[in-house]
Amino acid sequence: MEVHQYHLETLAKIIAAQGGMDLVADHPKCTILQFDAWWSLSTGLRYFSSPRFLPQPEAEPEILSTQFQHQIYEIPRGFRTFVMEGKWSSSTVEILIRLAYVYQRRKLQRDESGCIVGLPHTAQPVWRTFQEACPALDAPGAGNEKLLALSLVLYCGIGFDSAPVSSNGGLASRGALTKILTLCELPSESSDEVSLLFWVWMVTICAWHNASGNGFLPPGVDLLLKLRQRFVNVEDWDAAKEILEAFFWNDKLSELCKAKFEGTCLG
């Protein structure tokens, strides 16, 4: 970590001496900003960009439900209450809708440019970093929206193999969620929040699978034990699966965790 920090500090000095990030070409700028953002999530240190503040959810839930009225019911039902009640910002809802479009379709069609046909577009379809597209990743604390955003990064890496957990984003998100789930109180005020937290927890556990996929690395084992101790009412895999399938979930994740979930002793 000290070596990475030294390189970042040196790079920051070089860029500053050459006139700042605005003069860096687009491709290296994107690479630098993306690494900087994930590095910040892991360490709290940032050299090239300022954290984007999470936009406050719209004051009237009707605004969101009207804005996304044609797509909202493609979102898995476990997320819908939060969306309908206006608890999450539009940037997060847009990502949910885009992911839901892919999630609901086994086969995707692409146009000549490689874009997915029919995929709902955001107001600004090109972003330099994950954090620009989803400011919830930069939100302080451990609110539901931040937990969701971090979990979506992991789910895409596990469920789709599109951004492996071994990537910078995956490692940073896994580390951040593990820290939150281990150290924070995380009170849940409603049954919807309890279910969401259970899903977040299980996705994080799956992200700690070993190379062969038949077990978990030590942090995953610890998280699974803590989950079983906290959610004592989820007595067996059938009950767990019923909760999980209300969110983004697929057979690959079930294969990773079913046996270990059933075999974890609460005594």
What does the alpha-carbon distance between residue 102 and residue 209 come to, in Å, rounded to a whole number?
24
Using DSSP's 3-state secondary structure scheme, residue 150 falls into: helix
Rounded to two decimals, the pTM is: 0.84
pLDDT band at residue 74, thresholds of 50, 70 and 90? confident
What does the alpha-carbon distance between residue 100 and residue 70 come to, in Å, rounded to a whole number?
13
Encode pLDDT of 146-184 as tens digits.
Answer: 999 999 999 988 877 555 666 778 888 999 999 999 998
Residues 144/193, Cβ–Cβ less than 8 Å:
yes
Burial of residue 48, with CB atoms counted within 10 A of its CB: 0-12 exposed, 13-18 middle, 19 or more buried: buried
pLDDT band at residue 267, thresholds of 50, 70 and 90? low
Encode pLDDT of 184-231 as tens digits.
Answer: 888 888 999 999 999 999 999 999 998 887 889 999 999 999 999 999
pLDDT band at residue 59, thresholds of 50, 70 and 90? very low
Encode pLDDT of 95-117 as tens digits.
Answer: 898 888 887 776 667 777 766 66
Residue type, 239: A
